[in-house]
Amino acid sequence: MVNQFIKAYIQALVPYSTARDEFTGVASVYLDANENPYQTPVNRYPDPHQRQLKALISERKGVAVENIFLGNGSDEAIDLLVRVVDTPQGGVTITSPTYGMYKVAAANNGVSVGDAPLRPDFSLDIEAIRGASEKGSRLLFLCSPNNPTGTQYTLGEIKSVMDAFAGIVVVDEAYIDFAQAPSALTLLGEYDRLVVLQTFSKAWGMAGIRLGMAFGAKVVIDSMNTLKLPYNVSELTQRYALERLAEPVRMESEVREILSERARVVSELRRLSGVVEVFPSETNFVLVKVTQAWRAFEYLQGKGVIVRDRSKERGCDGCLRITIGTPAENNAVLEGLREVL
Ligand SMILES: Cc1ncc(COP(=O)(O)O)c(C=O)c1O
C-alpha cells in the first residue's frame, strides 16, 4: 500500500479550512473573508481547490479529480513530494544528469540525495536504481523526456524501474507534449506508487502563470493538498488556464512548428564543424556536444543569444543545451555557432 511511504503525521493532519471551504454555494452577499467588496477581476480569493480547472483537466487527461494536484508550477509539486514522502534512510534518488530542482528541493528540506547515474549513452541503469532502493531510498525522481539530455524512457523501462524501486516513483513529464512515446499516465491504474508530473510551462506556453500538475494515488494527492498554501494557484492563473485550455488547437500547431524546427536545427547542427554530437531529443531543446563549449557559449552571449552551458553536468562535458525557438531565433544560434566553431 502506498500509505506506508507517506509520513504518518501528514496523513493525520487536518487541512486549514478557508472561508471558501466553509461556504461553497452561490450567495449574493460575501462577508466571510475580509475581502474588499468593490469588484475587480481579482477582489475575491481564488478557489483553493481549483474545482473548475481540475474538472477540465480531469476530462482531458482521463484522470479522476481526486487524483489531481495543481500547484505553483510543477516545482511546487516537486517540493511537496519531498516533504510528504517518508524516506528516513536513503533519502531522495535522482538519475544524473537530470533536472536540477529535485536536488535543490531535497536540500531545502534537509533530505539527503543519492544518485543512480544514467549510463554514458543516457539510458537508465536499473541496477543502480535497485541499489538506491536497497539502501532505503523511498523517493525517486525520473525525468522523461529528460532535461537536459532529451531522452525519453519507454513505458517498459518505467515498469522495470517500478519493479526495481520499492517506493514512490515520480515521472516528471514536463516535456511530454513534444514526445513520441505515450505518457506514463496510462500506468497510474497499475501502480499506486507512481506519481506523474506535467506542466503548462512548456508546450502550452504558459510559464509565466505558474501552473503545474501532479497525478497520483489519493493519499499522495491529499497529503500534498494538506501541506500546500491554501490559495497556491491565483485567480488570474486559474482563469487564464481555463481560457487557453479551451483552444488546444493553438498549442498543437505550435508544437508541430517547434518539432519541425527541431528537426531542421538538428540536421544543421550535424553539418557544423566543431559539433561533436547532437543527442536525439524528444523535447523542445537539443543537447549538443561541441569542441569548445565555454567559448561558444560566451560568443553567443556576446551576440545576445543565450543558451545553457551544461558542461558541468555528469556525462555532459562540452555540452550546450539549446531551446528550439522561432525560425529566426534558431537561425541566430546556428549562425553564431557557425562563426565561433
Ligand atoms: C523537467 C522539468 N520539470 C519541471 C520543470 C519546472 O516546471 P514548472 O514551470 O511547471 O515549475 C522544468 C523546467 O524547466 C523541467 O525542465
Where along the chain do its domains lie?
2-246, 249-340
Taking a C-beta distance cutoff of 8 angstroms, is the pair 96, 103 a contact?
A: no
* Sequence-ordered strand ranges (E) for 216-312: 275-278, 285-290, 308-309
For residue 72, which atom of ligand 1 is closest to its CA?
Answer: 11
pLDDT of residue 22: 84
pLDDT of residue 94: 98
**Burial status of residue 12 (CB atoms within 10 A of its CB: 0-12, 13-18, 19 or more):** exposed
pLDDT of residue 19: 86
Q: Is 147 in the pocket of ligand 1 (CB under 6 A)?
A: yes
Cβ atoms within 10 Å, residue 147: 23
For residue 146, which atom of ligand 1 is closest to its CA?
Answer: 1
Q: Is 199 in the pocket of ligand 1 (CB under 6 A)?
A: yes
Q: Is 207 in the pocket of ligand 1 (CB under 6 A)?
A: yes
The grid coordinates listed for 164 are 526495481
Biggest CA-to-CA distance, the chain: 70
249-340 CATH, one of 3.40.470.10, 3.40.50.150, 3.30.470.20, 3.90.1150.10: 3.90.1150.10
For residue 200, which atom of ligand 1 is closest to its CA?
Answer: 10
Q: Whose CA is closest to atom 13 on ligand 1?
A: 174
Q: Which class does domain 2-246 fall in?
A: alpha beta
Q: Whose CA is closest to atom 3 on ligand 1?
A: 174
222-247: string of b/e by CB count within 10 Å (b at 16+)? Answer: bbbbbebebebbbeebbbbbeebbee
Q: Is 201 in the pocket of ligand 1 (CB under 6 A)?
A: yes
Taking a C-beta distance cutoff of 8 angstroms, is the pair 278, 269 a contact?
A: yes
Q: Is 283 in the pocket of ligand 1 (CB under 6 A)?
A: no
pLDDT of residue 20: 81
Q: Is 73 in the pocket of ligand 1 (CB under 6 A)?
A: yes
Which of 147, 178, 233 best tests ligand 1's pocket when mutated (most atoms within 8 Å of CB)? 147
Q: How far is the CA of 100 from the centre of ligand 1 (A)?
A: 9
Angle 265-267-269 from CA coordinates, rounded to 5°: 65
pLDDT of residue 113: 98
For residue 201, which atom of ligand 1 is closest to its CA?
Answer: 9
Taking a C-beta distance cutoff of 8 angstroms, is the pair 181, 152 a contact?
A: yes
Q: Is 212 in the pocket of ligand 1 (CB under 6 A)?
A: yes
- Kindly give the parts of the chain with pLDDT less than 50: none
Rounded Cα distance, 162 and 216, in Å? 14
Question: Running DSSP on this structure, what letter comes out for residue 130?
Answer: H
Q: How far is the CA of 70 from the centre of ligand 1 (A)?
A: 14
Closest CA to 314 of 115, 154, 106: 115
